[in-house]
Amino acid sequence: MIEHIIEIAKEAGQEILKYYDEEIEVKSKSDDSPLTKADLAAHHHIVNELKKLTPEIPIISEESGIPDFDERKKWDRFWLVDPLDGTKEFIKKNGEFTVNIALIVQDKPMLGVVYVPAFDTLYYGDRSSGSFKQESDKSPVQLNTLPYDKSEKARIVVSRSHGDDSTKRKLEKIGIEVSEEVPSGSSLKFCLVAEGKADLYPRLGPTMEWDTAAADAVYRYSIAEGEKPSPLSYNKENFKNPYFLLGLNENINAEEL
């Protein structure tokens, strides 16, 4: 199935790129986050194709709204989509925006595809075969990294759009010394940890489930056997993620940092 999802994500990426070189018209959603024609074009393509592929599986996209929890709590699986993650990066035209498609099974991402249209770079992972990175038409490379060891200094991913100078001080309180900050946008932050270009991704700010699900799958399965622990779960009543610290071999309550 993942081959079909990769194809859908790449097609959505091409829909997004149709708008990339022109003047970008931006509207604001109810939460003041930006919305463009590219978001909607990718949304419609992904939803339509997923309905054809698996008509029996419900779909939640950032641009379609969240069904009532009384309905959702009965689902054993559903597609979770962010058709254009990193809209702010898209507007800035720095290339760090992604198409995210995940399959959630019993509150956990079993499969995830993250496509970076501007760089033609693909990350994908599933529980049965592991996680991979593919650049353009090169062969996929399997991601096999170990969780961060707290005895070492840490390279941390920081957001280009939501920087917070206090993060390093908060990590020091739990014995983590930061050696380097690696700036990145969108769900690429998870992928950088998955491929070993950074050790930790501390997110001490709000995110929604569609922001993280696909890249969380890439991270979880970027290990030779089994899976890495993730602090995130899915299909919560409010659909909001808690603050989190990704990359450790233990779960720390980041809300208390």
Q: How many CA atoms lie within 13 A of 104 on its CB side?
A: 27
Beta strands in 71-187 (DSSP E): 77-85, 98-105, 108-116, 121-126, 130-135, 141-143, 154-159, 178-184
pLDDT at residue number 22: 79
Q: Are 211 and 82 in contact (CB under 8 A)?
A: yes
- pLDDT tens, per residue, the chain with 257 residues: 999 999 999 999 999 999 998 777 777 676 657 778 999 999 999 999 999 999 999 999 999 989 999 999 999 999 999 999 998 899 999 999 999 999 999 999 999 999 999 999 999 999 999 999 999 999 999 999 999 988 899 999 998 765 566 898 899 989 999 999 999 989 999 999 999 999 999 999 999 999 999 999 999 999 999 999 999 999 999 999 999 999 998 888 888 88
Domain spans, the chain: 2-143, 154-256
Task: Say if CB 13 and CB 82 are below 8 A apart.
Answer: no
Domain at 2-143, CATH homologous superfamily: Fructose-1,6-Bisphosphatase, subunit A, domain 1 (3.30.540.10)
- pLDDT at position 163, please? 56
| Percent of the residues in the chain that have a pLDDT greater than 90, as a whole number | 81
User: What does the alpha-carbon distance between residue 101 and residue 247 come to, in Å, rounded to a whole number?
Assistant: 21
d(CA 148, CA 195) in angstroms, rounded, equals 12
Q: What is the CATH class of 154-256?
A: alpha beta
Provide the whole-model pTM. 0.94
Q: Above pLDDT 70, what percent of the chain?
A: 96
Question: How far is 114 from 155, CA to CA, in rounded Å?
Answer: 22
Report which DSSP code applies to 176: -
DSSP at 119: G
C-alpha angle 222-227-228 in degrees, rounded to nearest 5: 80
